[in-house]
Amino acid sequence: MNMNNKITLAKMVRMDLTLLVGDSALALFDYFEVDELHGLNRQACIDRIAQGGTYFDGMQNLYPRTTDMYYLFLNTSSFTDNMAQNFGLVFHEATHYQFEKYYDNLQDKEEELITDAEELALEIIKIIF
């Protein structure tokens, strides 16, 4: 278990979206200097990591205390040698961003939003691998 809990990359990838890459789920709690984050708990995170888990592999949400700035966090301890698996994780979180940001238009623009999520995921993969 890496005890550094660092965000190793913070990069704005859209006007309202910051890519955060960290070496454990705890890095996200440390980055925002919080014990609770979107219903998740630092102590539960510590306990899960101590049991050999990751607590979460990635997360996309609004910055705490904002209504218009998003982050997409990727936990590098979840990455494997399988690039398809890594892409799946990135695409999953990118899709959350598209759906959260454009929820009201989801039904009318489903294909466009998923395509945008795919393009974002490919952009992120090129940044981190």
CB burial of 74-108 (b: ≥16 within 10 Å; e: otherwise) equals bbbbbbeeeeeebbebbbebbbbbbeebeeeeeee
Residue 41 lies in a domain: yes
Average of per-residue pLDDT across 46-62:
96
Residue 33 lies in a domain: yes
- What domain count does the chain have? 1
Pairing of strands 70-75, 17-22: parallel
Q: Does the pLDDT at position 68 exceed 60?
A: yes
Q: What is the end-to-end Cα distance of the chain in Å, rounded?
A: 22
Q: Does the pLDDT at position 23 exceed 90?
A: yes
Residue 34 lies in a domain: yes
Q: What is the reported pLDDT for 104?
A: 83
Cα 84 to Cα 90: distance, rounded to the nearest angstrom:
10
Q: What's the pLDDT band for 1 if we cut at 50, 70, 90?
A: very low
CB-count burial class (<10 Å; 0-12, 13-18, 19+) for 14: middle
Residue 1 lies in a domain: no
Domain range holding 92?
A: 7-128
Residue 2 lies in a domain: no
Q: What's the pLDDT band for 2 if we cut at 50, 70, 90?
A: very low
Residue 35 lies in a domain: yes
Residue 17 lies in a domain: yes
Residue 40 lies in a domain: yes
In this structure, what DSSP letter does residue 67 have? S
